[in-house]
Amino acid sequence: MKLKLPKPNLGWLVPILSVSLGIGLFLLNPLPLKVMRNAVFDQYQRWQPRTYQEAPVRIIDIDDESLAKLGQWPWPRTRIAEIVSKLQSVGAAAIAFDVIFAEPDRTSPTAMLSVWNPPSNLRSALTSLPDHDAVFARTVSHGGVILGQALQREGKPPEHLIKPFSIVTVGASPLPFLSEFKGSVTPLLNLQNAAAGIGVVSFNPDSDGIVRRVPLMLRLGDAPVPSLIAEALRVAQNEKNFFIKTSEATGDGLEEIRIGAITIPTTSNGEVWVHYTKPIPERYIPVWKVLSGQVPAEQLRGHILLVGTSAQGLMDLRFNPLGRIMPGVEAHAQALEQIFAGDHLERPGWATGLEALIILIGGLLVGFIGISAGAVLSAIATVLIFGLTGWMGWFAYSQHGLLVDPVMPGITLLITFILASMYHHMSSERRQRWIKEAFARYVSPNLVSHLVDHPEQLELGGRRQECSFIFTDLAGFTSLMEKIDPVEAVSLLNNYLDEMIGIAFRNDGTLDRIVGDAVAIMFSAPVTQPDHRERALKCAIEMHRFSKQYADEIKSRGIPFGQTRIGVHTGEVIVGNFGGTTIFDYRALGDPINTAARLESVNKHLGTLVCVSEATLAGQADFPVRSVGRLVLKGKTQALMVYQPIIPAEGEETSRDEPYEAAFQLLRDEQPEALQAFEVLATERPDDPLVALHLKRLREGEHGDRIVMASK
C-alpha cells in the first residue's frame, strides 16, 4: 500500500478569503461596524477633546434658575420679544432660536377671551391690547433673528415656508445626498415673514443616540434647507447665498459649503463632525441675567447668540461623544465655535480607500506570515501591523483632525491572524500525522505514538521488562526467487509482509525487525501490556491463518509459495534505545529473543508451523494446544516445554486433542503402551507431523518427552 502524500498546500487561499471577507464587510458597512467605528472616534475625543478657544458664540440659556425667577415655560411672547430686544440693543450679530414657535401664544389677550369670558367692557379693553405674537414679530423684524423649524420623516412640506436665502450649487445636485425629510413643523407665518432666517434645529443622532455630527444642509421634499447654524452664519455676515460644492467627478456627494467668507468642509451628506470640548461655563449666559441687565454688552456684541434651554424639565438633552449629557443647543454652539476656529474634524473622502488598502495589504501580509511562520513570529507581526494601524488612526486624528477608521482593518487583521494560525496549526498537525504515518512504515505505530507522548525517552539506555516475542520465517522463498521473475517475487513478498506486519500492529505489537522474509514482533514494549501473552498468541494465530490462506492463493496461480513458520516465547529482556550518538535503534536484548527465534526454526524439524513455549502459555490454561515435548534447543542445556496451538479453520470450534494428549502422557511417563498408542494415532492420522515424530522416536528406542535438537 502506497503512503498518501500530504494534500497540496492551499494555505494561500486563507489570507485571500479572509481579506475578501473583510473588504466585503467593509463595503457593506453593517450597523455593528458603524457602532464600533463611532466608539473609536468617541474614544479619540475623550483622549484629546478640542481645546476651547474664545469664539463669538454664546448660549442664552433658559435654565432652571431662569424658570424659577421668571416663571414656568412657555413664557409669553412679549417676554421673548423683550429678550430679543435686549440682545439686539447690544449689537448681537445674530440671534438664533433653538425653539419652535409653531402655535399662537396662548397668553395673548385675544386668546384669553375664550378662557375668561369677561364682561363686554373688559372684553373691549382686552381686544384693544396688542397681540403677543404681533409684538414678538415686530421685534424680530428689527433684524438678526433666526427662528427654528423641526423636520419630520413623514408628512408633506409646509404650504408656506419663507426662504430668505438662495442656494448656489457648484457641481451636481446635492439633493440625492442630503438627509431627506418629508414634513416640517414651522414657525407662525407672521414670524417667518419677520425673521431674517429660518433654520432647522433637527439632528440626525446615530443609532446609540449620540450627537456626533450636526447638519449644515438638509432636504425638505425636493428642496435643500439650511440648518440653524448655517442660517446663523449667513445672517451674522449679512449674506444672501449658500454655495454648495459637490464632488461631480466622483459622485461622492458634498465636499464643502461656503457661507460668506467662511468655507466649511462637510461630510458627503452635508454634515459637520463636531469636535467637542470639555464643559465650559463661560459658554452659557442665563436669560434672567440678560433681562436684568447684568451681562456686559461687550460679552454679547458681534456674537452669534443661540437661545436654548438646559432646564431638565424641558427635555432638550442629548448625549455627546465625551460621555456626558448636554443641552441640544450646545451641539449647535460647539459646531459654530470650531467653524470660527477653523478646527475642523473631518472624515476625508480618501479615508475609505486608505482603509480598504490597509485591509488588503495588512491582511495579506498577516495571512501569509501566519500560514508560513511560527506562532511567535506571526503573533509579533500581527501585533506590529495592528499597532501601526491603530497608531495611524490616532495620529491622523490628534495631529490633523482626520477621522481614519482602524476598526475594520483591525478586525480583518485579527480574523486573518486567527484563521491563518488555525490553518498553520491544522497543516502542522496534518503534516505531523503524515510524518508519523510515514515514520510508522519504518517503526511501529505504537512506538511512534509513545515517543511522541514521551520524547524524554529518546535517549540511550534500557530497562528490564517481561515481553512476549513472535518470530516468523517464510520457507523456500530464496529458491522461489530463482524460479520466477524477481520483480514478481518482491511484489509477492511485499504484499505478504504488509499484511503480516499489519496483523501485528492491529494487535498493538511492536516491530522489532525485518530480516528478508522474516519478521520479529514484541509485545509489552514500549508500552507495558499486562495481557502481552494473550496478544502474542492471538497475533500468531492470525498470522498463521493469513499466511496459509495467502500461500494457498499463490499456489493456485502455479507459484510454489512456501509456508510460514512461527515461534512464540516470553521472558525478561532489556528494552530501550541501543546504538550510539549518531544513530540508535529501539529493540530488546536477551536470551528470550533467541529462544523465540529457535522455536520458529525447530518447526521445520518437528513438521509443525507454530510453536509456543510454556512461558507464553502461563496463565492461558484454556488455550487449546498440543504438547510437543521438552525441547533442548541447540546451544542450550535446559529443556523448554513447547506446545503446538490447535488452530481450527475459520468458523470451526476449537477443542482439545484428547486422544493425542493421552498418548503423549504415556510417552512422558515412559510407559510401554506409548508405542501402541501412537501407532493407532498414526493409522488414524497419517498426515499428523507430531504423531509421526513421536512414533519415529519410539521405534528408534527413545523414551520420554525430552528431545535434544542437534541443529537450529
In this prediction, what percent of the chain has a pLDDT beyond 90?
58
pLDDT of residue 6 exceeding 50: no
466-477: average pLDDT: 93
Q: Is 152 left (phi over 0), alpha (psi -120 to 50) or beta?
A: beta
222-231: average pLDDT: 95
| pLDDT per residue as tens digits for the range 412-425 | 888 877 777 777 66
Q: Do 650 and 616 contact (CB within 8 A), yes or no?
A: no
Question: Within a 10 A sphere around the Cβ of 541, how many other Cβ atoms?
Answer: 21
572-583: average pLDDT: 75
232-249: buried (b, 16+ CB within 10 Å) or exposed (e) per residue? bbbbbeebeebebbbbee
H-helix or E-strand spanning residue 705: none
Question: Which is more confidently placed, 122 or 224?
Answer: 224
pLDDT of residue 3 exceeding 70: no
Q: What is the pLDDT of residue 327?
A: 94
Q: What is the pLDDT of residue 584?
A: 63
Q: What is the pLDDT of residue 203?
A: 85
Lowest mean pLDDT among 57-71, 112-126, 346-360: 112-126
**C-alpha separations of 533 from 614, 630, 688 in Å:** 11, 20, 27
pLDDT of residue 518 exceeding 60: yes
Separation CA 477–CA 596 (nearest Å): 21
Q: Do 587 and 575 contact (CB within 8 A), yes or no?
A: yes
| pLDDT per residue as tens digits for the range 87-111 | 999 999 999 999 999 999 888 877 6
426: confidence class by pLDDT, cuts 50, 70, 90: confident
118: confidence class by pLDDT, cuts 50, 70, 90: low
Q: What is the pLDDT of residue 580?
A: 62
14-27: average pLDDT: 82
Helix 13-28 with 407-439: angle, nearest 10 deg: 160
Domain coordinates in residue numbering, the chain: 13-34+355-439, 51-341, 456-623
Task: Report which DSSP code applies to 317.
Answer: E
pLDDT of residue 436 exceeding 80: no
429: confidence class by pLDDT, cuts 50, 70, 90: low
Separation CA 113–CA 583 (nearest Å): 115
Sign of CA dihedral 90, 93, 97, 98: negative
Q: What is the mean pLDDT of the chain?
A: 87
Question: Within a 10 A sphere around the Cβ of 462, how many other Cβ atoms?
Answer: 17
Sign of CA dihedral 644, 648, 653, 658: negative
Separation CA 504–CA 573 (nearest Å): 20
123: confidence class by pLDDT, cuts 50, 70, 90: low
pLDDT of residue 300 exceeding 70: yes
Question: Which is more confidently placed, 432 or 684?
Answer: 684
Q: What is the pLDDT of residue 114?
A: 67
376-393: average pLDDT: 86
Q: What is the pLDDT of residue 1?
A: 42
Separation CA 635–CA 590 (nearest Å): 15
Question: Which is more confidently placed, 147 or 117?
Answer: 147
Q: What is the pLDDT of residue 279?
A: 93
Q: What is the pLDDT of residue 455?
A: 57
83: confidence class by pLDDT, cuts 50, 70, 90: very high
**Residue in this structure with the C-alpha cell 423636520, named with its chain if needed:** 151
Q: Which of 515, 711, 694 lies closest to 607, judged by CA?
A: 694
CATH code for residues 456-623 = 3.30.70.1230
446-453: average pLDDT: 62
| pLDDT per residue as tens digits for the range 167-186 | 999 988 999 999 999 999 99
Q: What is the pLDDT of residue 5?
A: 46
Take residue 443 and report the three cell numbers written for it: 517503526
pLDDT of residue 9 exceeding 60: no
Q: What is the pLDDT of residue 321?
A: 94
Q: Which of 477, 84, 98, 135 lies closest to 290, judged by CA?
A: 84
Q: Do 438 and 514 contact (CB within 8 A), yes or no?
A: no
In this prediction, what percent of the chain has a pLDDT beyond 70?
88
Q: Note the residue count of the chain.
A: 712
As beta bridge partners, residue 271 has 215
